[in-house]
Structure 1
Amino acid sequence: MFVGLDMGTSVAKAVAYAEDGTALRAESTSLSLGGRGEHVEQDVEEVVRAATDVLAAVTGGRTPALVALTGQGDGLWLVDTGGRPVRPALSWMDGRAGDLVGRWMADGTADHLYRRTGNVLFPGSPGPLLAWLDRNEPASLDAATTAACCKDVLHLRLTGERGTDLSDASVPFLDPRTRAYSPDALTALGLGHRAELLPPIATTLPYGEARGRTPGLPDGTPVTSGPYDLPACAIGAGVTEPGDGLLIVGTTLACQVVVERVAFDDEPVGFHLATARPDRHLRALPAMTGTVALDWVLGITGSSHDQVSALLGDTPRGARGVAALPYLSPSGERAPFVDPTARAEFTGLDLRASRADLVRAMCEAIAFAARHCLEAAGLTGELAVCGGGTRSLGWLRLFADVLGRPLRVARGPETGARGAVLAGIASRGPAFGRGVDVAAWTAPEVVVDPDPAGVEFYDRAYIDYLFRVASARERWQGPADTR
């Protein structure tokens, strides 16, 4: 039995898998977010308790051959030598460093960093958050010994081992040429004196053995950490060849394409996440929009998730002229462009607009955002899809029409947990998982084909969407200075 543990933003999920990839049992529990305004934080101890609870529930008294961790990336989790928090974790959704990012974009620092690392800056990534704390809350950094990401804090608590993997190390400090932290990147953000806070990077994955009488996890159980949820989902969906991509329709709209080189000289956009192979990177464009934007519209219209397919059927393509931009995050947008001032909008409204029109307009806008990201990432091959948004067949068909290609729905449950297990097995050597058939573990559950009429309609509508995005970006910058 192999166990994958995926510590998401709002849910902790654990799945026990048989050797053939069949899910034996899945457990989950909700997680809360705190803070106020632009400050979005999480209680580290609540996250640790949730992890141990779902582990105990899913193992059911059996000893797993491996526990493989994955989880939300970015943010900033400050802990001491024992993995105890020195303050609440700063979420990847946190916007307090928005002004810093805007300043770095204006003075060329962000562009310089991209040319060094292949990654853009956004307010919720570790670099800007570290820099904000260094300026505004240095005592927290002084008290910490490690500035980590979620899964690595959990690994430290379970095993006592301090470290991170190449995927979480990538943003924003990894030099992909050396596969080590870039001193130049740290200096550019004024953080050279905080370098010791960064955990060591494991050449494969951080590995340790459970200790400390964790409920449901006997001492000595092998535990691996990583990759984080985006690349873990790619592995779980079988996305490994150059040109192939993965769309995660989750809280965020995470778009990834496998590439063979880092596009240092291209327009700065998105991230290049290092993998176990030096000649393979995931070009990731994780938008800040996703199901969170649909949730908001469902809330204001008094609708529920199980009504989405029916609502999509109650209004035609184009939502009778109602259109939306899906940028509802308080910290703006990070892909396929970075703009902390990005905001959502509806256009084409009049008294005849129905709740179905509003829901369809937002579903279409989110799908357009996915196409925008995947085109920027260089998608040329097959496309897999996973995430909570795929539960709506009507929305999945809409995605296929907007994207103009078949969608390979990844095998469930929990593609990220599945990918973490496969990555953990691979990191331990071929003998460890000799009975595991990777192709069977990653075969799609179903393939959703596009409707040619829908593809033709949305090809035209997508041009209008791009025009509305460009117009909105001019408005977000405010009126021109005419003095």
Structure 2
Amino acid sequence: MKQVFAGIDLGTSSVKVDIVDAQGRLLAEHSAGYSTSSPEIGWAEQNPEEWWQAVWTSLCSCVTHLRTVEDSFDLRGIGVTGQMHSSVLLGADGNPLGPAIVWMDARARELMPEIEDTLQRTKLHSVLKNTPAPGLTLGPLVWMRRHRPEMLDSAAQLLIAKDYIRYRLTGELATDITDASGTLMLDMNKREWCSELCETFDLPPQILPEIKLPSEVAGVLHSELSAELGLAEAPVVAIGCSDQAAAAIGAGVLKPGLMQLMLGTGAQVMTPLSSGEVMPPRSLNMFCLHALWCLQGSIQNAGSALNWVRSTFRADWDEVMQAATERPAGPLFLPYLTGERAPIMDEQASGAFLGVRYGAGREHMLFAVIEGVVHGICDAVEEIDRVVQLPTQTRGAGQEPPLQAGGGEIRCGGGGAGQDAYVQLLADYLGRPLSVLDRSGSTALGAAMLGAVAAGVYSDLGSAGAEMGLKVGKVLEPNVKQASKAADRRSEFRFRRDHNLETERKLRGRAASCNEDMLTSGPPPDASATTT
């Protein structure tokens, strides 16, 4: 009987469920979406029940399909992964007290200066290893303490998105080390919840879940759910991990010296480190995965910018990729259509075409945008390399640096990795070969691999990865004939980027100052008034 494993990936807008065999071959897949509501400007909420219905519909669909292609199978294990930072509070009855607050929610933005100042003053930033941001779990909790204290006081448990799904599957209340890292509440040196932080912000420590390893057994699938799936025996369910950690597991990026580049709506760059001695700058973040520390840069504008230029210029993918192949010389493009995280960390930055001259045509604008996206990704890769290679005060004389990056293998996945012209442009501008994975879907696969380890089919993630993990399908080498031109374009982009961002920030500061003057100066005098 064929042993199979399910991986559940709870994304920002939809869930994807894959069922694979013990060699990682895809046997069934299904996706289902759910909505995001915004009851106030800047808020982003989702209904946990919609999550669950989408997950269960997809899992049932996969099992039903599997019965049409396999004579018999044994669903041995299930793994879960999902969007980081998004959280839901449960009451004493185990039900959500309200909607989940999603990672893109900005209601805590006004609290960020205060939170950051507090973390600096108390020196807690040195153990949290990440910079405060509105969407990180701490922000909404502090906001709730200020604005919805009764809800926070009645909470019995805090769960991250994928933890809620596992709770519905098994009843297990817990989280894992990767999602705990993304809350801005974990002491990453001790790998435990930071009690001093809870005291500082008056947060109830008892709602924080127990922290476990991703491949630990959470329990078995509820008997009634197993019966609904028509399974003779309930599969085990792994604790699971965050989406970025699951992608790394599926892609085999689990040792220092490797780098993962995922090309999707945004882009993610991540490299594992053997030591947590690095203190990430504002533009990067860090999470723990087993014995590793993973340094990550998030780029907001990748596939989203390409979709924008396609829509604006009514171009299809072939036209964009043809421009990426032909590379007509022309204007540069700053791709910051929704602000940007790594490496500029400026949510108010805006996109711009720079250096447009008479004669610039459609093909020049298409190329400028995909080139701008590539520049943004290169910036993040170079920032990670810069941070990893910094000397540290804690390293002893003659001790070998425990951190490795810069020149190591980059494994490239995600939907964008299927476009050779896009990846080749990246390889040329980075000046480094890119190892393209043989298929997309490393995140759900990574979750399924956790299920296989939890089921005891494999002893650890290394052995599971050797059999189930994605393989490198091809390697795109940088074109030496393009090296000089690529270097020149990178240099010009950096210069124009820095100058434009500086100008934008000055203008924003001037506008804020003018608005403040108008508020403090009072209303203009009444011209009709007379004096005697």
TM exceeds 0.5?
yes
Alignment of 1:127-166 (within 5 A): 127-166=138-177
| Distance apart, 1:465 and its partner CA | 2.5
For the pair 1:476 / 2:483, whether they are aligned, the reply is no
For structure 1, which segment, 423-432 or 357-366, has the greater mean C-alpha deviation from structure 2 after superposition?
423-432
Q: Which residue does the alignment assign to 1:359? A: 366
Q: Which amino acid aligns with 2:337?
A: L
Q: Name which of 308, 312, 316 aligns with 2:320.
A: 308
- Describe how 1:355-434 pairs up with structure 2 within 5 A: 355-378=362-385, 379-380=405-406, 381-427=408-454
Q: In 1, are the aligned partners of 2:87 and 2:100 still within 8 Å (CA)?
A: yes
1:427 Cα offset (Å): 4.8
Among all aligned residue pairs of Structure 1 and Structure 2, give the percentage whose two residues are the same amino acid.
Answer: 27
Return the offset for 1:113. Answer: 4.2
Q: Which runs of 5+ in 2 are unaligned?
A: 68-72, 386-404, 518-532
Distance 1:67 1:458 in 2: 45
Pick closer, same or farther for the CA change 1:437–1:146 going to 2, 3 Å.
closer
Paired residues, number? 474
Contact 1:409 1:444 in 2 (8 A): yes
Residue 10 in 1 paired to residue 18 in 2? no
> Out of 457, 463, 479, which is 1:451 matched to?
479
Kept in 1: contact 2:8–2:17 (CA 8 A): yes
What residue is the counterpart of 2:333 in the other structure?
Answer: 324
Matches within 5 A, 1:100-111: 100-105=111-116, 109=120
Deviation at 1:143, TM superposition (A): 4.3
| Worse overlay, 426-435 or 41-50 | 426-435
SS of aligned partner of 1:155: helix
Name the counterpart of 1:89: 100
Q: Distance in 1 between matches of 2:275 and 2:358?
A: 51
State the alpha-carbon separation in 2 of the partners of residues 5 and 203 from structure 1: 17
| Secondary structure, counterpart of 1:243 in structure 2 | coil
- The residue that corresponds to 2:196 in the other structure is 184
Measured in 2, the distance between the counterparts of 1:287 and 1:113 equals: 26
Larger mean CA deviation between 166-175 and 361-370 belongs to 361-370
Q: 1:19 aligns with which of 4, 17, 22?
A: 22
Residues in 2 aligned to 1:197 and 1:293: alpha-carbon distance in whole angstroms: 39
Following TM superposition, by how much is the alpha carbon of 1:385 offset from its aligned partner in structure 2, in angstroms? 1.0
How far the C-alpha of 1:105 sits from its partner, in A, is 4.4
Greater Cα offset, 18-27 or 356-365: 356-365
Q: Distance in 1 between matches of 2:141 and 2:114?
A: 15
Contact 1:52–1:216 (8 Å) recurs in 2: no
Equivalent position of 1:257 in the other structure: 271
Amino acid at match of 1:468: R
- Structure 1 unaligned blocks of 5 or more: none
**Aligned CA distance change for structure 1 residues 436 and 136 (closer, same or farther; 3 Å):** same
How far has the Cα of 1:25 moved from its partner?
1.9
Amino acid at match of 1:371: C
The separation in 1 between residues aligned to 2:174 and 2:282, in whole angstroms, is 28
TM-score if structure 2 supplies the norm length?
0.81
**1:259-292 Cα distance to aligned partner (Å, 9 max, x none):** 1222445644422211112xx2111112233322
Q: Is 1:195 aligned with 2:195? A: no
Q: Which amino acid aligns with 1:47?
A: W
User: What are the residue-to-residue correspondences of 1:113-128 with 2, within 5 Å?
Assistant: 113-128=124-139
AA aligned opposite 1:423: L
Greater shift, 390-399 or 306-315, is seen at 306-315
Question: Alpha-carbon deviations, 1:327-365, whole Å to 9, x = none?
Answer: 233xx4332243333333332335644443333222222
Equivalent-residue separation in structure 1 for 2:281 and 2:78 (angstroms): 39
Q: For residue 236 of structure 1, report the CA deviation from its aligned partner.
A: 1.0
Shift in alpha-carbon separation, 1:198–1:302, aligned structure 2, 3 A:
farther
- 1:343 and 1:135, CA in 2 relative to 1: closer, same or farther beyond 3 A? farther
